Amino acid sequence: MKRAIALIVLALSACEQPAAPGRGNIYSYADTLGGAPQIFHWPETTLPVRYYAAAEGALPEISQRGLEMWQDQFLYGEFRATLWSDSNTADVILRFSGGPPPPADPDTSMIVAACQGVTTPLIDPNTSTLERPMRVTLSWFTGNAPEAIAACLERVVAHELGHTLGLFNAAHAGTNATDLMAGPPRVYAPSDRDRSTVEVLYHTPPTIRPPR
Ligand SMILES: [Zn+2]
C-alpha cells in the first residue's frame, strides 16, 4: 500500500498564506504522515540528483534555471543536480499534463495564477523509503497571456523543485508571500528564509531513506 503526499500549488487560490511574525528565520519543511514527521533530503551518495525534464516547450531550460538557483543556496554543495536524459533512471521527472503552452518570453511583472504544479513523493510506509521517480506535473490555463503563463511557470517550476529537494510540507506552513515556497509562489527565486530552511533541512537527520 503506497501512500502519497500530494504537494499541490493551487494557483487558482486567491488566499495568501498568513505571515508568521517572530518565528525565527525558517518555516516548516517536513510534512507528517501517521503522526511521524517525513524528513527527507538527498544524501551525498545520491548526488548529483538526476532530473529528467521532458522536451516539451521551455521545460528543460526552466528546470535548469530552477535547479541552479537551488544549488546556489548551499555553501558546500550539499545539494547538486543534473539534467538527465533517461527517464527510466531519473530520480525526478518533470512533465506537462496536456502539453506545453504557446512559446513566449516570461513577463515577470505579471503575477497571474496561470499555471499549476503538483509534486508527488511516494513513500513506502513499511521501509520509510522514497520511491523513484518523484514526479512533478505541470499544467497551464488557457485564457491567459502567453507571457503570463511563461512567468507563472518560472515561479511554479522553481517552487516545485523546492519540494523535490525535500521541502515536503504540503501546506507550506509558516511561509509568507516573500518566500518561493509559499503557495502559490509570487516570487521567482528563493528568499533568505527559503535558503535558511533548506540549509537546516540538509543538516537534519532524515527519517526517509533515499530511493537509491
Ligand atoms: Zn507547494
Element (H, E) at 192: helix 192-201
User: Quick check: 9 pLDDT over 60?
Assistant: no
Could you tell me the distance, in angstroms and rounded to a whole number, from the CA of residue 184 to the centre of ligand 1? 7
Could you tell me the distance, in angstroms and rounded to a whole number, from the CA of residue 21 to the centre of ligand 1? 21
Confidence of residue 54 (pLDDT cuts 50, 70, 90): very high
pLDDT score recorded for residue 24: 55
Could you tell me the distance, in angstroms and rounded to a whole number, from the CA of residue 170 to the centre of ligand 1? 6
Element (H, E) at 95: strand 92-96
What is the distance between the alpha carbons of residues 139 and 49, in angstroms, rounded to a whole number?
24
Q: pLDDT per residue over 98-132, tens digit each? A: 999 999 999 999 999 999 999 999 999 899 999 99
pLDDT score recorded for residue 125: 87
Residue 204 grid coordinates: 537534519
Could you tell me the distance, in angstroms and rounded to a whole number, from the CA of residue 204 to the centre of ligand 1? 21
Rounded to 5 degrees, what are φ and ψ at 94?
-110, 130
What is the distance between the alpha carbons of residues 183 and 198, in angstroms, rounded to a whole number?
16
Could you tell me the distance, in angstroms and rounded to a whole number, from the CA of residue 193 to the centre of ligand 1? 15
Per DSSP bridges, beta strands 122-124 and 129-130 are antiparallel
